[in-house]
Amino acid sequence: MAHVVALANINGNFPALIKALEKIEELKEDGYKIEKYYILGNITGIFPYPEEIVRSLKSLAKNNRVKIIRGEYDQIIGMSESPDYIEELNIPEYTKRALKYTWDKLGHEGREFIRDIPIYLVDKIGKNDIFGVYGSPLNPFEGRVLPEQPTSYYESIMRSVKDYEILLVSSPKYPVNAMTRYGRVVCPGSIGFPPGKEHRATFALIDVDTLHTKFIEVDYDKRTIEERIKKEELPPELIKILYHGRV
């Protein structure tokens, strides 16, 4: 059984990423052949494990075929020459503080790693051409694809990349698997950024031949992350997001 896995919205949440990767190893032991890992943006973000995330992804890439694209927070971190740039952005104050923390913790080498990540993914799953982006095909960072919409909505999004069999996006944070006359739109959900309460780290498992997609969920320990947020004296709003998906 040849498959690829797609993960998105890690957002600096190392405990969630580790649990997802452990689950993928279990799938391999169960007979799934994982040909590639697609990491679809926002590897960094508001949670306080940026160094661990970068090290983990570098380690993963040593023994596996891994393709990573940049998300909106990655773009901010990679393009910021100093934390002063982040301060000028029109985003909530708690997000600024979290991103400045991430910028500082990554250091020059970590930020260089982020800058080297491409914006778009163009590849093949088996014989199928695929296109991947964090936001939407026409707006890679600020664009948004909504979950639970009619087929006509996803057809309008897929139309601009209709030469591809599948469009992978990250922006909904919720799992999406929508078949249109142009091709399939898939969002693997969120590994580390809770879109709502009772969030479990979610990723997509995609069959190489049929493109049949199913979503895998795993639990992770939010208390560990809460303690890290407090230890690093980061904004308490991050704890609210961790448990409730919003402030």
CB proximity list for 233: less than 8 A, separation 6 or greater: none
The answer to the question of residue 76 being in a domain is: yes
Under 8 Å between Cβ of 164 and 130: yes
In this structure, is residue 214 part of a structural domain? yes
pLDDT digit string (tens) for 115-143? 999 999 999 999 999 999 999 999 999 99
Structural domain containing residue 13: 2-129+186-244
Convert the pLDDT of each residue in 195-238 to its tens digit.
Answer: 999 999 999 999 999 999 999 999 999 999 999 999 999 999 99
* Contact predicate 105/45, CB 8 Å: no
The answer to whether residue 176 is domain-embedded is: no
Cβ-based burial of 114 (10 A; exposed 0-12, middle 13-18, buried ≥19): buried
Q: Tell which residue, 125, 81, 92, 53, has the closest CA to residue 240.
A: 92
Q: How many domains does the chain have?
A: 1
At residue 170, the pLDDT reads: 97
Which residue in the block uniquely carries the two structure tokens 């309460």? 197
Residue 121 pairs with which residues in a beta bridge? 132
Instruction: Look at residues 177, 216, 183 and name the one whose alpha carbon lies nearest to residue 200.
Output: 216
- List the alpha helices (DSSP H) in 12-162: 14-29, 50-63, 72-79, 83-87, 93-115, 151-158
- What is the rounded CA–CA span in Å between residue 21 and residue 40? 15
| pLDDT score for 144 | 95
3-class DSSP state for residue 189? coil
Cβ atoms within 10 Å, residue 148: 9
CA atoms within 13 A on the CB side of 11: 23
pLDDT tens readout for residues 40-55? 999 999 999 999 999 9
For 78-97, what is the mean pLDDT? 94
CATH number of the domain that residue 123 is part of = 3.60.21.10
Q: What value does the mean pLDDT take over residues 146-162?
A: 96
Distances 209 to 66, 205, 220 between C-alpha atoms, Å: 19, 12, 31
- Is residue 108 domain-resident? yes
The band of 17, judged by pLDDT with boundaries at 50, 70 and 90, is very high
Whether 16 is in a domain gets the answer yes
pLDDT computed for residue 165 by the predictor: 96
146 within a domain of the structure (yes/no): no
Domain assignment of residue 140, yes or no: no
Average predicted confidence (pLDDT) for the chain: 96
User: What integer pLDDT is reported at residue 231 of this predicted model?
Assistant: 98
User: Contact at 8 Å (CB) between 157 and 145?
Assistant: yes
Q: Is residue 121 part of a domain?
A: yes
Task: Provide the pLDDT for residue 246.
Answer: 94
pLDDT-derived band at 176, boundaries 50, 70, 90: very high
| pLDDT over threshold 80, residue 1 | no
